[in-house]
Structure 1
Amino acid sequence: MATNASEAQRSKEAAVESPAEGRLSSVTAAVRVLKAFSEEEPEIGISTLAKRLKLAKSTAHRLATTLLAEGLLEQNLENGRYRLGIELFALGALVRRRLTVSTQALPFLHELREKTDETVHLAILDGTSIIYLFNLESNQAIRVRSYIGVRKPAFCTSEGLVLLAHSAPDVVGRVIKEGLVARTLNTNTSSAALLKVLEQIRVEGFSMDDEESEAGMRGIAAPVRDLSGQVVAAISVGGPTQRLTKKALRGFTPLLINAAEGISTRLGYRRP
């Protein structure tokens, strides 16, 4: 029995480190380790990591140790769990620096935050989710809090709705196929209703999130276009419902759209 168990473990590790494709497989496994972390689960232990990635525990530990040595992972010495390392932030900063839309948007986002005194965001679509590339928080005590690199479902966020409204039908189809899972009591979980909302956004030129993503928070977003006219990002303004009524939020629409159009112009877009 012991021999069989030992052979099974060696076989499992060979799938990751076989001579023929060991290096490539090891890189793939290391990338999978990094992708296992999320906002909801920023720290993971070796046993959980091995089970989730279907790796031998010794292999998961070896991968984590290598990533730790390179600064791509850090270890919490109090509980032994691992988390993403600071070196990833440095690499991410290089990527962010070359993102033209982020660079060109900065002065407009600062001006928008100053004029509204609410939190502003810049987000892009990645698959069926949005990723925040940039954020400027409101100076007020009660405000939307967010972090660069955070992912959220596209179908229930103001930024995501704008991006989906200008995406190909197959992208919207993938979102619907994945399932519209409620995040709050206000989340729209009807695919038919979603399609109507997207059509309305294309007509009005902006979208609104009325506590659909987070209870107690509202947001409004507008599209950013590149030289070809393609929508490549969305900017938004958001805040707490006790301060931002729907009417107050809609009052920010001209400022928001002007900012979005300003960024689009800097990217080379010209209105037909």
Structure 2
Amino acid sequence: MAKTASAAKPKVRLSSVANAMRLLKSFSDDNYEIGISELAKQLRLAKSTAHRLASTLVEAGMLEQNAETGKYKLGLVVFELGSLVRRKMDFSNEAKPVLMHLREKTGETVHLAILESASIIYTNTLESKQSIRMTSDVGLRRSAFASAEGMVLLAFQSKQEIELLLKSRDPSVPKEVAANTAALAKEFATIRNRGYSIDDEESEPGLCSIAAPIRDYTGNVVAAVSIAGPAQRLNKKTLQAFAQDVVEAAEAISSRLGFRHIRPIRLEQKAAAVAEFF
């Protein structure tokens, strides 16, 4: 009999852990605060059992209880654990399926870039399968002020960060750009308003590109995705046609990094206000 009782204890513990996991998974964007009666109903548990589980999770910091309504929501410990997972994810691997889809859809070379000071660095590049195409290598550096990826990344930096870059002696900051901050601020406002940046042969004759910002779970812009190709294919009409594809790719990667939109963003939706930079 003693052996039977001893063998039963691990099962009870495992059952409690499994129910605790099921309870945590009950929460979602649409159901972020739940009462104990609803939790018991969803989990098909006695109300007393659901209450005991919830109380234990509150003590552990994995749930919080609303003092006014008595309902429960996910706690900071869950957020911290989720953040740790996101930080450890391989950014390039998370983006790769989306980049491949974007290349197939547009037929052009696709880039993923990050900002480092006044430069961008390509972390991923998938070349177009067409005979005439833009070629570039992973690790290649370019001036952020002379690329669609760089401009979209700079547009979402703080006023202080931009001012420091312009005052620096970084060779990647063109003198004419540093001398005309009003024009730069206007361009950044345009980029933020429409949600993407276009390089229409401005940095290099015969080459056009379009880039959109990627956000992480905190909402910060951490990278940019772009397509690039010869001007004879990526004319103004084609760039506009591909704009939504690039923005949707950026949103898809952002989602994989934990960013959640309140509602789907379309290019025709304009920002209500634009922050002043200078």
Give the match for residue 250 of structure 1: 240
Structure 1 residues 128 and 188: alpha-carbon distance in aligned structure 2, compared to 1, 3 A threshold = closer
Distance 2:209 2:226 in 1: 7
Give the match for residue 187 of structure 2: 197
Mapped pair 1:237 → 2:257:
no
Distance 2:149 2:98 in 1: 16
Tell me how far 1:213 sits from its aligned partner: 2.0
Q: Quote the sequence identity (%).
A: 49
CA contact (8 A) 1:128 1:171 kept: no
CA contact (8 A) 1:155 1:175 kept: no
Structure 1 residues 212 and 181: alpha-carbon distance in aligned structure 2, compared to 1, 3 A threshold = farther
TM score, norm. by length of structure 1: 0.59
Tell me how far 1:116 sits from its aligned partner: 0.5
CA contact (8 A) 1:158 1:207 kept: yes
CA contact (8 A) 1:221 1:237 kept: yes
Distance 2:203 2:91 in 1: 25
Distance 2:90 2:158 in 1: 23
Larger Rg: 2
Give the match for residue 180 of structure 1: 174
Pairing of 1:1-272 with structure 2 (within 5 A): 100-177=90-167, 178=169, 179-181=173-175, 190-272=180-262
Distance 1:156 1:172 in 2: 15
TM score, norm. by length of structure 2: 0.58
Tell me how far 1:195 sits from its aligned partner: 1.3
Distance 2:137 2:96 in 1: 16
Tell me how far 1:99 sits from its aligned partner: 6.3
1:151-194 Cα offsets, whole Å, 9 max, x none, are 11111210001100111223222333344257xxxx99733211
Distance 1:140 1:208 in 2: 21
Q: Which has the higher mean CA deviation after the structures are superposed, 209-218 or 102-111? A: 209-218
User: SS of 1:227's equivalent?
Assistant: coil
1:126-172 Cα offsets, whole Å, 9 max, x none, are 01100000000111111111110011111121000110011122322
User: SS of 1:111's equivalent?
Assistant: helix
CA contact (8 A) 1:109 1:120 kept: yes
- Residue type matched to 1:247 in 2? K
CA contact (8 A) 2:98 2:249 kept: yes
- Residue type matched to 1:175 in 2? L
CA contact (8 A) 1:227 1:268 kept: yes
Give the match for residue 10 of structure 1: none
Tell me how far 1:108 sits from its aligned partner: 0.3
Structure 1 residues 216 and 106: alpha-carbon distance in aligned structure 2, compared to 1, 3 A threshold = same
CA contact (8 A) 1:128 1:174 kept: no
Give the match for residue 7 of structure 1: none
Distance 2:178 2:108 in 1: 25
1:37-81 Cα offsets, whole Å, 9 max, x none, are xxxxxxxxxxxxxxxxxxxxxxxxxxxxxxxxxxxxxxxxxxxxx
Distance 1:246 1:170 in 2: 33
| Aligned pairs, number | 171
Any runs of at least 4 consecutive aligned residues in structure 1 with deviations exceeding 3 A, and if so which? 187-190
Give the match for residue 54 of structure 2: none
Structure 1 residues 141 and 166: alpha-carbon distance in aligned structure 2, compared to 1, 3 A threshold = same
Tell me how far 1:123 sits from its aligned partner: 0.2
Structure 1 residues 181 and 120: alpha-carbon distance in aligned structure 2, compared to 1, 3 A threshold = farther
1:207-242 Cα offsets, whole Å, 9 max, x none, are 001122222101000011000000110000111111
- Residue type matched to 1:205 in 2? G
Distance 1:219 1:208 in 2: 6
Structure 1 residues 188 and 176: alpha-carbon distance in aligned structure 2, compared to 1, 3 A threshold = closer
- Residue type matched to 1:107 in 2? P
User: SS of 1:263's equivalent?
Assistant: helix
Distance 2:215 2:247 in 1: 12
